[in-house]
Structure 1
Amino acid sequence: MAKVQRGVGGSVVLNRHGSRLWPALRSSCIGLRLIDTMRCGRTSVVSSQEQLQRSKKKKEKKEMSDLKKRNEGSERLSELLKWEVESLGDVDGEVKKKMEVFSAFQRVVKVLQFGEGKAKKEAAIDVRRLAKEDAEARVALAMLGAIPPLVSMIDCEDEEFHVASLYALLNLAIGNDVNKAAIVKTGAVHKMLALLKTLTSQAVSDAMVANFLGLTALDSNKAIIGSSGAVPFLVSVLVNPNTTLQAEQDALRALYNLSICASNAAPLLETPLVPTLLSLLGDMATSERSLAILANLSSTPDGRRAISKGPNAFTLLVDALTWADSPNCQESACYIIMMLAHKSWADRQALNSRVFESEKGKQIEAGGSAVAPVSAPICGGGGEGWGGGDMSEERMAVKEMVQLSLQSNMRRIVMRANLPQEFAPSEHFKTVTATSSSKSLPF
């Protein structure tokens, strides 16, 4: 027979042998509960469908909560501004004006967040207009929550929505690193790349290129965009015959921004970027940026290999050294050649066999009289490459000026590139430049 023993913690049920009955009772209760559940045909495990529904509701609730917080934040700011206006009375008209502008921003953002159809598109156009030349407007519109709805508009099927949202985002990012980071964090890059699968509009393509240019200007975005799959799209813009001049320039500048980040070398070299850039040399509108990208790539072993294997790479680079009217192209070309020659014996041999040959300095005869060569020789003896025979005092003076100019340029390049002093002009270089000219052009 069970008996009850009282203690400090209350009553304890004991059996006739004096041991506790709780373990047995607990086991029997669990067993009864299990039997009851089986009889009723129920289970305590929630179905996967119910879990998905709950998860969806929870996500919607969180989104509404975040949106409410943003609205509450903007309303609080609006109330503070209103209080400031009321406290100042009619003293400060500028504050009242700012209050009115901020209220207009609020209305535009609310349409972006809750509007539909044409009204939402018009709101995106308003954001583009307001943020175009106003740095304070970019800050205020982003703070009010304009970026997320604009990014979500990229998923729309209407081309006009794409253009309106992309240019609005572009203007919000101008000169504002916080907005640049927020646009990428919100998922704009992946949405733009997803849009490429159905992209047929040149206007949308140009807007995407312009956005990539703006977003890659921020260092923290470079690696993210470089690994996202944007590089093949930007390279395709360069080879597309329908590409506008502005889009081509934007694509080159975006690729230059990406090439600054060392981790982007691999995705850049996986595309036909190097041959494409070499093919653009000779066009002064694209040569400077193309050589700058190649210079960045030449700092990596894979980049140097890709450049040295490019079609007519050494000839094109040496020709660029003679563009007297483009010192930036000369500097980049010289840097690339130095990197190739310094790091690879094979490249030094290739330079020697392809460039430093006597054929390079053959003269062009016109009307029985000798004239200066189209492409000046890199090395030679006596008066070769300068019309042959004895040179006049004028030619000697020009030759000396060219020699001094090349030596001075080489010193500046070495200093800017922070290269070892072994690259500094030597006596051998002075001998080489003694018969060089900087007047020839590659076309």
Structure 2
Amino acid sequence: MGKFQQSNLGSVILDHHPTTAAGGNFRLWSSCRRKIINTMRCGGGGGGYRHRHTAKSPVVEKPKEEEEKRSECRSDVIQNQRNRKSKKSEKLSELLRMSDSWSSEEEDVKKKVEVLEELKRVVKGLQCGGDAEVLGGAREVRRLAKEDLDARTTLALLGAIPPLVAMLDSDDLDSQIAALYALLNLGIGNDPNKAAIVKAGAVHKMLDLIEPPNDGLPNPDVYAAIVANFLGLTALDSNKTIIGSSGAISFLIKILKNSSKSNIDSQVVQDCLRALYNLSILPSNVSPMIEIDDFVPFLLTTLGDMEVSDRILSILSNVVSTPEGRKAVSAVHDSFQILVDILSWTDSPNCQEKATYILMVMAHRSYRDRQAMIESGVTSSLLELTLLGSTLAQKRASRILEIIRIDKGKQVSETFGGGSIGSNVSAPLYGSVDPILTDPSEDDRMMSDENKAVKHLVQQSLHSNMRRIVKRANLPQDFVPSE
């Protein structure tokens, strides 16, 4: 019975065991499968969410060298990326600059084309238009050529000069003035244009405009424009001969002489003097100048005006470079006295330098002029100038004093040496007696005269300097020693 029960129980157990084992195996497999899936989802490392919170995965410590290498690699990669970005930005900026330069060049070309078309239109109006269009074209040329050197060249190349010169034959005053100032602006700083204007016959046409029916002056605007043109055209050396022989010199001198009588603008007077100076640079133009009545005396008597004295002295410096000019200056009464007075103009060193140059040239060329200078008291003024003048004035004053001293030495030698300079320096024969050497008082008297003259000149200069110093310091006149 017991065995039966055991066998039944065993059979029962055995009968139920496979079922239990199969269910356990199934549960075990499902749990393992869940863990595998969770591991694959979370990147490995162990069980489910509870296991991840509870279990700690072991951490492997990396060596420091490997970390440093990796950091260096990262920094290199970052730097390379930055370099690539900077290169790309540089290329981009360069492309942008190139595009800007291309666009600016295109704009410049476009502007030049527009300017050229405008200049062509103006010149075409001058050449083929009616009276109103020609007058407007001359005014446009004056405006365009006023400050644009390229426009002056282009207008001349397009043929603007001949129609402007032809406008000088017009009876309309506005057309004459517009053409004169247009030609003036075309010649500013452009030598080829100046030569082309003279070659086109503008000088003679300008002189025709200044021939009024009476003896008076033409319209002030007309002669002012003509004087300005002569000033610009005479700056070119090749034009000096043509203008000098055309009669322009007499016109300029006439303007100068009438400046004191008429209400002539001071700028016109300055332009006249500068034009005459340009013409006087050429020696062949000096003769026509001095042949005009009272021209040199007029220049010398006008030297008292400080506004024009510098220009006049410049003209006289060119005049005395020719024999005819020196003769004309020395023939004027008190000419040397006027020049000597200029030496005391301490406020105008330029005038002092030019006056000493004129006196130096005159003294070097003529003994009679040297005597006239001495009589005018030039020595004391020159001594003062050697002390107070500019460097150039001091050199020229010293040169004049040297010329005068050599002259006096020759006179003394001729007086005391029997008229022979060589007898004074030759050695006497042995046993002979020289009357001058045997009489020391005569030699002392001769030397004392020279010493007295030099001492007197020095005292005069010192006294004049002392008076000037006392006057400037507002001191009593007792400070000046008596002469």
Structure 1 length normalisation: TM-score? 0.64
Q: 2:169 aligns with which of 116, 140, 155?
A: 155
Q: 1:308 to 1:96 in 2, by over 3 A?
A: same
Kindly provide the CA deviation profile for residues 104-159 of structure 1, in whole angstroms up to 9, marking residues without a partner as x.
Answer: 00111111111221221111111111111111110011110010100111111111
**Corresponding residue SS for 2:304:** coil
Q: Distance in 2 between matches of 1:129 and 1:425?
A: 61
Q: 1:338 aligns with which of 340, 360, 365?
A: 360
Cα distance, 1:409 vs structure 2:
3.8
Q: Distance in 2 between matches of 1:200 and 1:129?
A: 25
Structure ranking higher on relative contact order (CA contacts 8 Å, 6+ apart): 1
Cα distance, 1:430 vs structure 2:
8.0
Match of 2:244 in 1: 226
Q: Distance in 2 between matches of 1:129 and 1:177?
A: 19
Q: Distance in 2 between matches of 1:114 and 1:433?
A: 76
- What stretches of structure 2 of length at least 5 have no aligned partner? 1-101, 407-449, 470-483
**Corresponding residue SS for 1:435:** helix
Q: Percent identity, aligned pairs only?
A: 51
For this pair of structures, how many residues does the alignment match? 311
Q: Does 1:354 align with 2:376?
A: yes
Q: Does 1:252 align with 2:252?
A: no
Cα distance, 1:268 vs structure 2:
1.3
Cα distance, 1:331 vs structure 2:
0.8
CA RMSD between the two structures? 3.0
**Corresponding residue SS for 1:197:** coil
Cα distance, 1:404 vs structure 2:
2.6
Q: Distance in 2 between matches of 1:310 and 1:329?
A: 20
8 Å CA contact 1:403–1:433 kept in 2: the answer is no
The code of the aligned residue for 1:191 comes to K
The code of the aligned residue for 2:351 comes to C
Larger radius of gyration: 2
Cα distance, 1:408 vs structure 2:
3.9
Q: 2:235 aligns with which of 209, 217, 230?
A: 217
Q: 1:236 to 1:176 in 2, by over 3 A?
A: same
Q: Does 1:102 align with 2:116?
A: yes
Cα distance, 1:352 vs structure 2:
2.3
Counterparts of residues 271-420 of structure 1 (less than 5 Å)? 271=292, 272-355=294-377, 378=381, 403-406=386-389, 408-413=391-396
Q: Distance in 1 between matches of 2:125 and 2:454?
A: 70
**Corresponding residue SS for 2:207:** helix
8 Å CA contact 1:410–1:425 kept in 2: the answer is no
Higher mean Cα deviation, 206-215 or 272-281? 272-281
Q: Does 1:200 align with 2:210?
A: no
The code of the aligned residue for 1:281 comes to L
Cα distance, 1:208 vs structure 2:
0.3
Q: Distance in 2 between matches of 1:122 and 1:196?
A: 24
8 Å CA contact 1:406–1:433 kept in 2: the answer is no
Q: Distance in 2 between matches of 1:321 and 1:89?
A: 64
The code of the aligned residue for 1:404 comes to L
Which structure shows the bigger proportion of residues in helix conformation?
2
Cα distance, 1:192 vs structure 2:
0.9
Q: Distance in 1 between matches of 2:273 and 2:136?
A: 31
Match of 2:94 in 1: none
- What stretches of structure 1 of length at least 5 have no aligned partner? 1-87, 358-376, 381-398
Cα distance, 1:420 vs structure 2:
10
